[in-house]
Amino acid sequence: MLGARAWLGRGLLLPGAGSGFAASRRGSSARDKDRSVTVNSTVPMPVGGKGSRTSCSPSTLQKVPNRLINEKSPYLLQHAYNPVDWYLWGQEAFDKARKENKPIFLSVGYSTCHWCHMMEEESFQNEEIGRLLSEDFVSVKVDREERPDVDKVYMTFVQATSSGGGWPMNVWLTPNLQPIVGGTYFPPEDGLTRVGFRTVLLRIREQWKQNRNTLLENSQRVTTALLARSEISMGDRQVPPSAATMNSRCFQQLDEGYDEEYGGFAEAPKFPTPVILNFLFSYWLSHRLTQDGSRAQQMALHTLKMMANGGIRDHVGQGFHRYSTDRQWHIPHFEKMLYDQAQLAVAYTQAFQISGDEFYSDVAKGILQYVARHLSHRSGGFYSAEDADSPPERGMRPKEGAFYVWTVKEVQQLLPEPVLGATEPLTSGQLLMKHYGLTEAGNISPSQDPKGELQGQNVLTVRYSLELTAARFGLDVDAVRTLLNAGLDKLFQARKHRPKPHLDSKMLAAWNGLMVSGYAVTGAVLGLERLITYAVNGAKFLKRHMFDVASGRLMRTCYAGPGGTIEHSNPPCWGFLEDYAFVVRGLLDLYEASQESSWLEWALRLQDTQDRLFWDSRGGGYFSSEAELGAGLPLRLKDDQDGAEPSANSVSAHSLLRLHGFTGHKDWMDKCVRLLTAFSERMRRVPVALPEMVRALSAHQQTLKQIVICGDPQAKDTKALLQCVHSIYIPNKVLILANGDPSSFLSRQLPFLSTLRRLEDRATAYVCEDQACSMPVTEPCDLRKLLHP
């Protein structure tokens, strides 16, 4: 990542007996932030000499593949020709470690991770390092997106014993899978302020031979401490905390960290974090007559506008990059993740609902256009990510951002046409460069490009409003908008000829569930059936390719095969909690958008399976993984942070409330209460770490609206009432279509629906709360008054 080279830490010394060892840390962050991190050990380790420096040229690379060549994961396949005897996470590796009494080297990453690429190239392609890893350790490679359970357990160790965490994550384990030492990115050789990977391997090998018992004892102590620290349970508590208190504290914490000028909630790096924006919108709705409520709305809308104007948004091809390396949202880390697109589409759609400003709806449509073009399989599924790195030209070494940056010369050559009517000589290229801040010297500062790879290059970022750009050149605003859009389209067409970033064509059930929500919510709010169709096709894909009918279980992954086919790993990778939680939410959103009850029925069945596989009947809440799937791992965790993705427990709390509203089943309301109670202490301690769960807590302690539309699904008056509901921001509601059939699925779940009648044979709306319904209305304007008094 561009900024990481400038601001990531250089390593720290571990305390203990007057000695320690350290390493530089670089990588994509586990807590939405890249920070310096030590090599983390359960015992002090002596400092050793540097040793000789080795290198790995292409001529010395092993051409014979290792066992990873048989895998489907793009990340594992990137390591298939390493001179390392890589094993998969599984019994074969564990048995070998125990039989040969060797430590396990666990390396975790993902295919679009910039610093994972760096370590693969610098260290894992190195012949000498490969021998050390193969002879003295049992080396295990894991794709964190395939096995989030493994990743979370050992990331918990790395974070608990250091100042941060990220990827690549490298942890050394005992043969019984307990962590000994952990870190992230290591350079291959020693530097002035950091220890190289080869040296770390030599020291751990020596410690394992000389101080094995001490290592094992300390590892056991750390594991015991982590077990206690990660415990999330109801304990003696019977009820969750006060929603008003948690809301107020969460808002105050966000207000204190808010960037007044550029939006967002940190100096740098800055992440989109849609869960925070969702919280602010909900807070505004329940406090909209107060100063704090207005403040919450302003914070969210300003952040979304500054992000959309910044370089974190791809103004040429649409969609958002992973994060900004600076406070201004200008220079991004260029990777594009599906889960960001899904959540941001919803956030911008909600901003449109609240503000009525089409700026936000246009951004949402642009995001979904990007996903349709670049992250969609023809069978309806959605790919995981696009890499940050690509070759500037074919045959060249990949560089970060090469696909996305522009020189002044390129833009001038692509857009030479004169602009008629301007107050001074002006070409289309000059107009675009002025508006988007391109300069001859480039607009990427040397501090964000210490290697000088991007000299003279520019990242497009909106510098002026359309009105100011138009006034500067004496042009009409609509004319400027048309010229800029035409210019961006020409840049888009030219960019098609560049070498493309690597596409991670793995498809994850969880992220596909988020994307179903993104298309369904945006399509419903904007009244665009074509977007809802994408959501329907995504749900059909999940049911066809990622659902096992016999067991009722979801599969975690599938992969794009040759000729548009879909492939699965063998044995299949079964779903984790987040897969169920995000898919259930997607199906509930899709039902409300399409009014096809089959999606609601499937959501109920999946929720039943989720409860059976992950629910903690003793302590409340959901475990992140199945008990059997995580067998052998030292911890079974409950995810307790809303970060780049919401916690699956937070999402489940919302879904349980909605399912209770759709069905009246008391068990789901009871589970919601127990879940919120189990997370009481986490919310009380740092509510800003769980903004999505605080939202669910508020929803639980308020009254959920059941909005019932009685009418023919295809009739215009029914559609008008449905569209009225979709146009209003009402997060705490369920939308039900009652078609008059007493044998329908929803009528069987909610018998009171059969008592609601149409007025004068017209589509009729009722708003029900606490088992009492409003007077019926037939006009959208009257319904709006009921919903938004």
Closest alpha carbon to 587 in 508, 520, 640: 520
Q: Is the pLDDT of residue 253 over 70?
A: yes
Q: Is the pLDDT of residue 10 over 50?
A: no
Buried b (16+ CB within 10 A) or exposed e, 395-418: eeebbbbbbbbbebebbbebbeee
Q: Using CA atoms, how far apart are residues 689 and 692, in angstroms rounded to an integer?
A: 9
Q: Is the pLDDT of residue 44 over 60?
A: no
Q: Using CA atoms, how far apart are residues 24 and 46, in angstroms rounded to an integer?
A: 17
**pTM greater than 0.75 (yes/no):** yes
- Per-residue tokens: 376: 């969609």
183 contacts: CB under 8 Å, gap ≥ 6: 23, 25, 37, 38, 39, 40, 158, 162, 169, 170, 171, 200
Q: Is the pLDDT of residue 454 over 70?
A: yes
Closest alpha carbon to 746 in 780, 784, 710, 692: 710
- Per-residue tokens: 457: 């290059």
- Per-residue tokens: 8: 């990531």
DSSP characters for 656-681? HHHHHHHH--HHHHHHHHHHHHHTHH
pLDDT for position 162: 79
Q: Is the pLDDT of residue 41 over 70?
A: no
- On average, the pLDDT of the chain sits at 90
For the chain, percent of residues with pLDDT exceeding 90: 83
| SS3 category, 567 | strand
pLDDT for position 452: 82
User: CATH classification of 67-230 is 3.30.450.40, yes or no?
Assistant: no
Q: Using CA atoms, how far apart are residues 432 and 414, in angstroms rounded to an integer?
A: 11
Burial of 337 (0-12, 13-18, 19+ CB in 10 A): buried
147 contacts: CB under 8 Å, gap ≥ 6: 89, 573
Tens of pLDDT along 50-67?
333 333 334 444 479 999
Q: What is the DSSP letter of 616?
A: -
Q: Is the pLDDT of residue 555 over 60?
A: yes
Burial of 206 (0-12, 13-18, 19+ CB in 10 A): middle
Q: Using CA atoms, how far apart are residues 316 and 319, in angstroms rounded to an integer?
A: 9
Q: Is the pLDDT of residue 46 over 90?
A: no
Task: Please give the average per-residue pLDDT across 415-419, as a whole number.
Answer: 97
What is the residue whose two structure tokens read 């704090």? 292
pLDDT for position 789: 63
CATH of domain 703-788: 3.40.30.10
Closest alpha carbon to 158 in 48, 39, 33: 39
Q: Using CA atoms, how far apart are residues 155 and 164, in angstroms rounded to an integer?
A: 9
Q: Is the pLDDT of residue 304 over 50?
A: yes
Q: What is the DSSP letter of 578?
A: H
Closest alpha carbon to 65 in 78, 47, 55, 46: 78
C-beta separation of 643 from 275 below 8 A: yes
pLDDT for position 743: 85
Closest alpha carbon to 312 in 385, 389, 388, 407: 388
pLDDT top residue among 49 and 658: 658
Q: Using CA atoms, how far apart are residues 663 and 535, in angstroms rounded to an integer?
A: 23
pLDDT for position 632: 82
Tens of pLDDT along 614-653?
999 999 999 999 987 667 889 899 999 999 999 999 999 9
Tens of pLDDT along 739-765?
888 889 999 999 999 899 999 999 999
Q: What is the DSSP letter of 76?
A: H
- Per-residue tokens: 717: 């008056």
- Amino acid in the structure at residue 266: A
Task: Please give the average per-residue pLDDT across 700-716, as a whole number.
Answer: 95
Q: What is the DSSP letter of 555?
A: B
Rg (CA), the chain: 27
C-beta separation of 778 from 764 below 8 A: yes
The DSSP element (H or E) to which 336 belongs, if any, is: strand 336-337
Q: Is the pLDDT of residue 563 over 60?
A: yes
Q: Using CA atoms, how far apart are residues 69 and 251, in angstroms rounded to an integer?
A: 49
pLDDT for position 28: 52
Q: Using CA atoms, how far apart are residues 212 and 219, in angstroms rounded to an integer?
A: 10
Q: Is the pLDDT of residue 2 over 80?
A: no
- Domain chopping of the chain, boundaries: 67-230, 265-504, 703-788
Closest alpha carbon to 111 in 559, 566, 630: 559
Burial of 371 (0-12, 13-18, 19+ CB in 10 A): buried
C-beta separation of 413 from 406 below 8 A: no
Buried b (16+ CB within 10 A) or exposed e, 232-270: bbbeeeeebbebeebbbbbbebbeeebbeebbbbbebbb
143 pairs with which residues across the strands? 109
pLDDT level of residue 48 (50, 70, 90 thresholds): very low
Q: Using CA atoms, how far apart are residues 474 and 497, in angstroms rounded to an integer?
A: 35
Tens of pLDDT along 383-415?
999 999 999 999 999 999 999 999 999 999 999
Handedness of CA 424, 430, 431, 435 (dihedral sign): negative
Closest alpha carbon to 573 in 588, 557, 596: 557
H-assigned helices in 261-319: 274-286, 291-309
DSSP characters for 197-227? HHHHHHHHHHHHHHSHHHHHHHHHHHHHHHH
**3-state SS of 445-501?**
CHHHCCCCCCCCCECCCCCCCHHHHHHHHCCCHHHHHHHHHHHHHHHHHHHCCCCCC
- Per-residue tokens: 700: 């639980």
Task: Please give the average per-residue pLDDT across 323-348, as a whole number.
Answer: 97
DSSP characters for 755-779? G---BTTB-EEEEEETTEEPPPB-S
Q: How many helices (H) and strands (E) does the chain have?
A: 28, 23
Task: Please give the average per-residue pLDDT across 75-103, as a whole number.
Answer: 97
Compute how many other C-beta atoms are within 10 angstroms of the C-beta atom of residue 566.
Answer: 16
C-beta separation of 655 from 588 below 8 A: yes
C-beta separation of 294 from 284 below 8 A: yes
Report the interhelical angle of 358-374 vs 509-526 (nearest 10°): 140
Strands 332-333 and 323-324 come out as antiparallel
pLDDT top residue among 62 and 168: 168
Compute CA 381 distance to the chain's CA centroid, rounded to the nearest angstrom.
17
pLDDT for position 630: 67
